[in-house]
Structure 1
Amino acid sequence: MTITMREVYQTITDALTGIDGLAPDRVFHGNVPDALPTFNNGQIMPYVVIWARVPVPTDDMAISGVQLRDGKAFPFQTTCVATDPLNQLMPMTDDVAAALTGLQIGSGNVYHESSLQSSQFLGGGEILPDPDLPDRYIAPMRWYLETQ
């Protein structure tokens, strides 16, 4: 039986909201609302954005030479965002990696897209400037799930 896109991304969301201190109102899918949860001092609370991509058939072939219809590849990205790179962003990035690495979804496991250079997903001190909000540091990480 083929797993659906909704099931995959719901499982990913559940794994992320299971991280201590990361409430469901701080895990977003493909967009970030204008109003973000803040601490009492007005600082934005750390959050994660899941960037979903449409699944594609895998290259797996049956012995008969027919492409397997149930096999799907689900590439996706998470972007961790925080205003404090050392005390918020890095620990959250570690927590997200721990929650997703090896996560079983259907007949597959999530793994980190290791074909990229590590400097590409650590954010390199990139910031999202916003005149009304504190700077936000980002750490994108690419992931891959293949099911059968």
Structure 2
Amino acid sequence: MTDWYHHPGPDVTAHYQGIAALLRALPGLRGGVHVGNVPATLPQDTAGRVYPYAVIWAGILSPVPDDDVSGRIYQAGQTGEFTVTVASGDWTWTTGAARDVKHALTDALDGRVKPQRLQQSIAQVMTDPAERPARYYIPLTWTLTDHA
């Protein structure tokens, strides 16, 4: 697979904007959709549990700063991976939001977005030990191409 963000070609910023717009349309992501970072504060219920949110990372399971996403370019026919991490303060909220994200993004952008089926089939809800109250998350990896 080609390292798509180190080669000249079309800007993929519009694709990331389209992905974010699709996710923002999901009513279950009350905590918002974020690109390349997790805000310090997120909306939560009265028990302090963070509402479901999604973070788009321009890579496979690795944080990339928000400013690195803009201006990414790739050559015709290239593909690249990105991860959408779905998280919340409730295990069932996280699994429901992940299901909605999968439905919204599979074959999105005229077929440019494809799930990495093996990764998604074994992806599990994990717990972030640094957060109190507990925060549950599931990373979902996708492939983005410049053509359908």
TM-score normalised by L of structure 2? 0.74
Distance between the aligned counterparts of 2:22 and 2:82, measured in 1?
Answer: 14
Matches within 5 A, 1:21-100: 21-23=28-30, 26-53=32-59, 69-86=75-92, 88-100=93-105
8 Å CA contact 1:56–1:74 kept in 2: the answer is no
The alpha-carbon deviation at position 56 of structure 1 amounts to 7.3
Q: Match for residue 110 of structure 1? A: 113
The alpha-carbon deviation at position 95 of structure 1 amounts to 0.2
Distance between the aligned counterparts of 1:95 and 1:5, measured in 2?
Answer: 24
Describe the shift of the 1:147–1:89 C-alpha distance in structure 2 as closer, same or farther (beyond 3 A).
Answer: same
Q: Partner of 1:104: helix, strand, or coil?
A: helix
Distance between the aligned counterparts of 2:97 and 2:41, measured in 1?
Answer: 21
8 Å CA contact 2:28–2:52 kept in 1: the answer is no
Describe the shift of the 1:146–1:3 C-alpha distance in structure 2 as closer, same or farther (beyond 3 A).
Answer: same
The alpha-carbon deviation at position 70 of structure 1 amounts to 2.5
One-letter amino acid of the structure 1 residue matched with residue 82 of structure 2: F
Deviations 1:30-60 (A, max 9, x none): 2111111112332211111111137675xxx
Select the residue among 12, 17, 20 that pairs with 1:13.
20
Q: Partner of 2:27: helix, strand, or coil?
A: coil
Q: Match for residue 64 of structure 2? A: none
Distance between the aligned counterparts of 2:115 and 2:86, measured in 1?
Answer: 15
Q: Verify: 1:140 aligned to 2:139, yes or no.
A: yes
The alpha-carbon deviation at position 137 of structure 1 amounts to 1.0
8 Å CA contact 2:10–2:73 kept in 1: the answer is no
Quote the RMSD (CA, aligned, Å): 2.3
Structure with bigger strand share is 1
TM-score normalised by L of structure 1? 0.74
| Count of aligned pairs | 128
Q: Considering only CA atoms, is the larger Rg found in Structure 1 or Structure 2?
A: 1
Structure 2: runs of 5 or more not aligned: 1-8, 60-68
Distance between the aligned counterparts of 1:34 and 1:52, measured in 2?
Answer: 20
